[in-house]
Amino acid sequence: MGVRLAATKLHIPPSAARRPTFLPFVAVLLLCSASYLLGVWQHGGFASPSESPAVSIATAVACTTAAAPATRKKAPSARARSRSSPSEPSRALDFSAHHAAAADEALTSAASSGSSSSSSSASPRRYPACPVRYSEYTPCEDVERSLRYPRDRLVYRERHCPASERERLRCLVPAPRGYRTPFPWPASRDVAWFANVPHKELTVEKAVQNWIRVDGDKLRFPGGGTMFPNGADAYIDDIGKIIPLHDGSIRTALDTGCGVASWGAYLLSRDILAMSFAPRDSHEAQVQFALERGVPAMIGVLASNRLTYPARAFDMAHCSRCLIPWQLYDGLYLIEVDRVLRPGGYWILSGPPINWKKYWKGWERTKEDLNAEQQAIEAVARSLCWNKVKEAGDIAVWQKPYNHAGCKASRKAKSPPFCSGKNPDAAWYDKMEACITPLPEVSGASDVAGGAVKKWPQRLTAVPPRVSRGGIRGVTAKSFAQDTELWRRRVRHYKSVISQFEQKGRYRNVLDMNARLGGFAAALAAAGDPLWVMNMVPTVGNTTTLGAIYERGLIGSYQDWCEGMSTYPRTYDLIHADSVFTLYKNRCEMDRILLEMDRVLRPRGTVIIRDDVDMLVKVKSVADGMRWDSQIVDHENGPLVREKILLVVKKYWTAQDQDQ
């Protein structure tokens, strides 16, 4: 009776209900089996190991080194063991830094002879080492290529990247012979290995100015400068007597023509983060020296293009005898400084022509010439509505207005006009224009255009004004707070799988290739790690976020990762790449980006790549041919998430090992 009732509800004939058959079950079983076998065949289940590389996915990386605490060592989980290739077991990555070159070579030799690949039994494409002459190669500031461009206004020193595949290097840039891991911060501020940056030109040219000197196998940086013979600390103290450097209101600074970046190096102890830049080879390796010291710096020049930073980025800008003709070209270079200065920001000038009455003989210029230059600079500053705060001794300071409410009425007819229509944040090969970048409108004369930022360190986690005012599409105060918490959790996960994060000073120079809102850098800063992060915002994404990164008190730049970065080789200890390869999937070859990452990464440096697992498998297949050790680990939310993390350690090798 029950069977007949059920059959009626399901519209099955009563006769069928009385005579059950197993034919449907057999048919379903056959279909499932066929589907399973087809899936196995499509994923290479019947291929030989050489045809279909296996990928090791671990839930944790055991960073078992002599320096790592025993509590940080983790045995592979059962899931990791089951996913590893049986013939080639996964091995732990060594994230440790090794300072002695001889020990480095021995460890590298032992690692290569006693271990096997964690990803595949197939041989990936091997990238050869570049000739030793490329050990300081900067693709977009190549000295030979630059000579093809005009000398006028230093245009030839701007970015000029390889225009064809024939010009691009498809090899690994070698470290110089005898390269050693840089000294950890804060020791690196004052000392570096000579073998890492083997240049003596500045020690001779700037000997009396105390920039740098050779001390045996080391380079020492006494903290001197052209305009601060008593040292950068004393010079900064003099600036602090004019503007507030100690209350957290000034956090981001721009140093034009930075030399070896001693000004930026000594500002760090005051919680002020400076972006220092200078052109390639104005003085040999000056930006390279800065980066070797662990000080933020980029190759750059004021010529015809805008600086690669958004409008209203810096709280303070500085020039100490930087040799920039501020008064020329209708004040174009001061107009560009005005664009990147925050409302109420300061511009500091020392050196010619300031205090010319004292120095004119030593500068080998006439009184009339120097006086005319200063008057011209003063006139440009007035046309920008800047207020001269004070001139004291060798230092002069101007302040940008908090808004432009009363600026138009007070400016003379000859003043440059306000720009119209152009995106004030656009700064990737965008030309400078002799017009003032207008500040956002205000409702009252005392308002800060665009919104005031909190003092440091509160501004690190406070909602940036560009977010709270709806200036970034798709980002709200709530989503910003969620993003901040997300990256705190992700950084905790990184530290759980890379024990060297716990070693203070292990990572100093950090690059985030797709910074978005700067959450990764903010999480590291909030944890008190003694490092700095260069937050790069790809030009193919939402570039409006870079302004918010600066409002958080962090620094960064725009970047197209199909091109080279404006920095020297061996710049960074740690590179973080979140979804970079998915972002550039149809834009340029994967190995072009990976080779650039290898160029700017220091030997034994670390790379963290987040992406979809299918993309990471492709990335790993290329990375394994680049003298990188790599391993895929699970997402912080567990193995069921498609996004995975590829952890990489760059092997130690130098120009003398390039044939190995």
pTM of this prediction?
0.83
Reported confidence tier of residue 213, pLDDT bands at 50, 70, 90: confident
- Quick: pLDDT tens for 610-638: 999 999 999 999 999 999 999 999 999 99
Instruction: Return the higher-pLDDT residue of 586 and 124.
Output: 586
pLDDT value at residue 285: 80
pLDDT value at 344 more than 60 = yes
pLDDT of residue 28: 62
Contact at 8 Å (CB) between 17 and 7? Answer: yes
- The answer to whether the CB of 647 falls within 8 A of the CB of 634 is no
Given a contact cutoff of 8 angstroms between Cβ atoms, the answer to whether 236 and 266 are in contact is: yes
Domains of the chain: 229-410 (3.40.50.150), 465-650 (3.40.50.150)
Q: Taking 70 as the threshold, does the pLDDT of residue 340 lie above it?
A: yes
Residue 546 CA neighbour count, 13 Å, CB half: 31
Q: In angstroms, rounded to a whole number, what is the distance separating the alpha carbons of residues 404 and 56?
A: 59
- Per-residue DSSP letter, 42: H
pLDDT in tens, 74-113: 444 434 433 333 333 345 676 665 544 443 443 344 334 3
DSSP, collapsed to helix, strand or coil, labels residue 166 as helix
Mean per-residue pLDDT, 245-253: 97
Looking at residue 633, what is its pLDDT? 95
Contact 425, 380 (CB under 8 A): no
Q: What is the mean pLDDT of residues 140-163?
A: 93
> What's the residue count for the chain?
660
The predicted pLDDT at position 122 comes to 53
Hey, how many other C-beta atoms are within 10 angstroms of the C-beta on 84? 21
Confidence of residue 484 (pLDDT cuts 50, 70, 90): very high
Q: What is the structure's pLDDT at 537?
A: 98
pLDDT at 494 over 80: yes
User: Is 6 a residue whose pLDDT tops 50?
Assistant: no
Least confident of 52-66, 288-302, 305-319: 52-66
Q: What is the mean pLDDT of residues 468-493?
A: 97
User: Who contacts 639 (Cβ-Cβ below 8 Å, separation ≥6)?
Assistant: 57, 59, 79
**Helix, strand, or coil (residue 649):** strand
Per cent of the chain over pLDDT 70 is 79
Tokens read off for 345? 């920001």
pLDDT per position as a tens digit, 380-428? 999 999 999 999 999 999 999 999 998 877 776 668 999 998 899 999 9
Span 54-65, pLDDT tens digits? 333 444 444 333
pLDDT at 313: 98
Question: Which residue did the predictor score with more confidence, 536 or 364?
Answer: 536
pLDDT of residue 422: 87
Higher pLDDT, 67 or 564: 564
In tens, the pLDDT along 580-597 reads 999 999 999 999 999 999
Structure tokens, 394: 């060798």
**With bands split at pLDDT 50, 70 and 90, how would you rate the model's confidence at 656?**
confident
**What are the pLDDT digits (tens) for 269-286?**
999 999 999 999 766 688
